[in-house]
Structure 1
């Protein structure tokens, strides 16, 4: 089962995040085979991390909670809140299989209109690294769609047209050891 984990950095925790970076990477090394996408969200000028996303294959919600809440940045107080949702992949593969280096990275999260269901997935667009539907672990309801894309510029209509109350767009970069 795939899970979407989005830890949002608390304001002012940049120095703490840097202090915990090696511990974070070492923790993620233990999940390298389970990760299909990962990386930090960034400030608009791309100079500071503002959060981290991980799409990870784990057997159940308990394992996903362990992954999300034993993570050093959460334990150390960097993340608050952490979004943990079931992720249904509609693109296939991993971000590394789709990466082209064609532009900057972006995370888009389309928040579903209450009571709606996901539309059939459109054909992948150029630069798409990951795309999946987001569902509640509690009641199974559809909550929206998450997309990682490489592009020179991106708008909500480019990637997630219609069917959403709101679309968040976050600058993002591929994660992992550097």
Structure 2
């Protein structure tokens, strides 16, 4: 089942996010074949980072939580809050994909 991750950064954490980002991207690459979508949450300016939104297929909620526990941004203490929700995709995605 797809699980969505709403991950909100701590205030004043832009430098930490940039430092750990290569490790984070490598960690995501390891599950790339199971990612429905992934990307940053941003303010209305489209550039200021607020956190991350991920949708990844896991066998169980426990597996999703275990994956998040070892995620590099989590280990670095970047997130002020995290939540995981099961998600059922009922609408075919037509927009929002990189060119």
TM-score normalised by length of structure 1: 0.52
Asked which structure has the greater RCO (Cα within 8 Å, sep 6+), the reply is: 2
Structure 2 counterpart of 1:54: 54
Q: 1 or 2, which has the higher strand percentage? A: 1
Which residue pairs with 1:9 in the alignment? Answer: 9
Larger Rg: 1
- Residues 3-42 of structure 1 aligned to structure 2 (within 5 Å): 3-42=3-42
Alignment of 1:1-178 (within 5 A): 1-92=1-92, 98-99=94-95, 150=96
- Return the alpha-carbon distance in structure 2 between the equivalents of residues 82 and 41 of structure 1: 13
Alignment root-mean-square deviation, CA: 1.6
TM score, norm. by length of structure 2: 0.90
Between the two proteins, the alignment pairs up a number of residues equal to 98
Which residues of structure 1 form unaligned runs of 5+? 100-149, 151-173
The gaps in structure 2 that reach 5 residues or longer are none
Residue number in structure 2 paired with 1:135? none
Shift of residue 91, structure 1, vs aligned partner: 1.2
After superposition, what is the alpha-carbon deviation per residue over 1:58-100, rounded to whole angstroms, capped at 9, x for unaligned?
Answer: 10112100222211111111112101111111114xx5xx33x
Q: Distance in 1 between matches of 2:18 and 2:48?
A: 10
Structure 1 runs of 4+ aligned residues shifted over 2 Å read none
User: Matched residue of 1:56: which SS?
Assistant: strand
Higher helix share: 2
- SS at 1:89's partner residue? coil
Distance 1:5 1:47 in 2: 20
Q: Distance in 2 between matches of 1:58 and 1:36?
A: 11
Deviations 1:113-154 (A, max 9, x none): xxxxxxxxxxxxxxxxxxxxxxxxxxxxxxxxxxxxx5xxxx
Secondary structure at the residue paired with 1:63? helix
Q: Is the 8 A contact 1:7 1:83 kept in 2?
A: yes
